[in-house]
Amino acid sequence: MVKMTAIKVENLSYWYPDSSQALRGVSLEIARGETLGLVGPNGAGKSTLLLHLNGTLRGDGIVEVLGERLTRKNLDQIRRKVGLVFEDPNDQLFMPTVFGDVAFGPLNSGRDEPVVRRLVQETLEAVGMEGYEAHAPHHLSLGQKKRVALATVLVMDCDILALDEPTGGLDPAGREGFIRLISAQPLTKVIATHDMELAWQLCDRVAIIDSGEIVAVGPASDILTDEQLLRTHKLRCPPGLIYSHAPYSERYQ
Amino acid sequence: MTLNLSTDNPPRSLLRRLSPVSKVVCCVVFIVCVVALPPSGLPRLLWLAGIVLSLWLSARISLLTLANRVALALPFVLIAAFSIPFLNHGGRQIAMLPGGLVISEAGLMIFQAVVVKAAVCIAALSLLGETTPPEELLAALRQLRFPGLLVTILSLTVRYLLILRDEAQRMMQARDARGPGRGLLRRAKIAGAIVGSLFLRSYERAERVGQAMAARGFDGTLPVVTRNHFAWRDAVVTLLFVAATATLTLW
């Protein structure tokens, strides 16, 4: 059986307004239900590529989501399918209360108030943040903010989850909990990170991006064990591999 | 600097229970009345001040908080009102200063009225802020058909003010950790750099927030579910308050 393609990027290039080039002819395919890790050093273009997946940024090239080519016309529709979680939850949580933030998307797509209330409650329960509806995002810890940020896109019932540095800044327990939460979502996932252990735990395939170019794509077990390749691009093998040769994901469960 | 935007554990006072819509209306009417008083109406102004003070006490908030709020805003009032005594208002001249500056009796009276009025208005607004959580206040403005764009801007300001403050504090800590620098000019330069980089950071953050909003279908108006209650009780309280302040002002 041929796997359906969730996202297809072809020859995508992007220049920042200051005319420095962030993406150089990126081509990438992500299958439905697959988890793809996008690893690379700081400033490699990971976040920029993620911002293209839901049309927030528009570069030269083709982006297809679930078989549909992204154009100005179907932008709103595509944005509903691709849930983008930003690296800094403070960018994502812009309403005065947690409830307002999670309700923002569904209300914008014209859902009725009772439905929205139910959706918000269910989604907050799913991320373990029930009872925080009336809290101000400012008073939450980073881990809690990340959970709420995830809820703001899950509530949209998206097909694809695009996560930018999901574990950045979390303490070990918070990190583990959040990884478990992500892996529990039965969606296609694209995860931009330089947390190599996270890539090892969650990803089926890994793509290395450096200086705006995809330099390698392959199964996680191939890419993340190729120390030479990783070192060339300022990355390292996941620490878990040093202590055990069994895939970390197995020990983790 | 104390900046408290949340009323997490409010005392259950009458003011806390009153509909935010009523509170906003009463506050606006009150401020209009205060501003409309002539400079000679000091006794009536003190009556109005008495109303705020008694409401403040009934809300069981510390008077120190009131003093803090007024003290925080008063310097700006003083700067704005600084020139009033020197303007030629006629009447008796109290003092002649070098350079042809004259302080008139009428000028001093206006100055005094402006400062007291500003203090009373600040107290009224602080009371509104102290007894109403920001999101209820925003919802009340929307219910009163306040322009949507302004409410959106206010809402984002409420959300990001504290983040900006934290960011500024971190930068100032970083500055202090490396030595505060000697000399007024040097310190001023550092402060300028902090303000500048705070501006740039906010600008970049605004871009990212905009992207996050667009990603969730933002079309220019904030969708809001929070709606304040407004019962006949609130209407009665509002009418009574408006009648009382208006009578006091016009009488």
What is the per-residue DSSP string for B81-102?
A: HTTGGGS---S-EEEEETTTEE
Q: Which of residues 186-225 of B touch A (CB under 8 A)?
A: 205, 208-209, 211-219, 222-225
Tell me which chain A residues have a C-beta less than 8 angstroms from the C-beta of B225: 99-100, 103, 107, 113, 116-117
8 Å CB contact between A68 and A8: no
Task: Judge whether A75 lies within some domain.
Answer: no
Report the domain count for chain A: 2
pLDDT score recorded for residue B106: 84
A164 and A132 part of one domain? no
A167 and A137 part of one domain? no
Distance of CA B192 to the CA centre of its chain: 25
pLDDT score recorded for residue A107: 86
pLDDT score recorded for residue B1: 35
A166 and A245 part of one domain? yes
Q: Which of residues 128-187 of B touch A (CB under 8 A)?
A: 134-135, 138, 155-156, 158-160, 162-163
Task: Judge whether A74 lies within some domain.
Answer: no
Please say if the pLDDT value at position B98 is more than 90. no
A94 and A125 part of one domain? yes
Tell me which chain A residues have a C-beta less than 8 angstroms from the C-beta of B226: 97, 100
A115 and A182 part of one domain? no
A48 and A101 part of one domain? no
Give the span between the Cα atoms of A170 and A174, in whole angstroms: 6
Q: Using alpha carbons, list the distances in angstroms from residue B124 to B25, B31, B128, B129.
A: 12, 8, 6, 9
A168 and A200 part of one domain? yes
pLDDT tens across A82-132, in order? 999 999 898 888 888 899 889 988 888 888 889 999 999 999 999 999 999
A235 and A166 part of one domain? yes
Please say if the pLDDT value at position B10 is more than 90. no
At B27 the three-state DSSP class reads: helix
All residues at 6 or more sequence positions from B14 whose CB lies less than 8 Å from its CB, including other chains: B58, B59
Give the span between the Cα atoms of A230 and A235, in whole angstroms: 5
A153 and A219 part of one domain? no
Task: Judge whether A82 lies within some domain.
Answer: no
Interchain contact, B217 vs A56, CB within 8 Å: no
Chain A residue nearest residue B203, CA to CA: A91
E-only strand ranges, chain A:
5-15, 21-31, 35-39, 60-65, 68-69, 82-85, 160-164, 188-193, 205-210, 213-219
Task: Judge whether A29 lies within some domain.
Answer: yes
pLDDT score recorded for residue B190: 80
What is the percent of chain A with per-residue pLDDT over 70, rounded to a whole number? Answer: 94
What CATH number does residue A14 fall under? 3.40.50.300
Please say if the pLDDT value at position B166 is more than 60. yes
pLDDT tens across A150-186, in order? 999 999 889 999 999 999 889 999 999 999 999 999 9
Which stretches of A36-112 are DSSP H helices? Answer: 46-53, 75-81, 89-92, 98-108
Tell me which chain A residues have a C-beta less than 8 angstroms from the C-beta of B158: 96
Task: Judge whether A141 lies within some domain.
Answer: yes
Domain containing A17: what range?
1-66+159-253
A59 and A164 part of one domain? yes
With an 8 Å Cβ cutoff, is B48 touching chain A?
A: no
